[in-house]
Copies of this chain bind each other. A is one copy, B any other.
Amino acid sequence: MKNRIREMRKAIGLSQEDLASGCDVSRQTINAIENNKYDPSLLLAFRLAEQLRCRVDELFIYQDNPEAQQD
């Protein structure tokens, strides 16, 4: 699933490290999610949206190609 984390993080002027500590996760986790290695847990998605001052559905772009597995 695509996301706008990098875009919104930079708009606020945060580093990956800043965002990581704000969400109480590691920097590698933020990096992996920005680079679409995997999707965050629902809890982390909410924390990210909170830190980036938007809603979960504004931060993540849900486009389900029906019945296919996501990358």
Question: Which residues on A are within 8 Å of B, measured CB to CB?
Answer: 1, 24, 39-43, 45-47, 49-50, 55-57, 60, 62, 64, 67, 70
Q: Would you call A62 and B39 a contact (CB within 8 A)?
A: no
Interface of A is mostly: mixed
Question: Which of B24, B42, B62, B67 contacts A1, CB < 8 Å?
Answer: B42
Contacts of A41 in B (CB 8 A): 39, 41-42
Return the contact of A42 from the options B39, B50, B55 (Cβ within 8 A).
Answer: B39
CB-CB under 8 A from A42, the residues of chain B are 1, 39-42, 45, 56, 60
B39 and A64 within 8 A (CB): no
B64 & A46 in contact (Cβ 8 Å cutoff)? yes
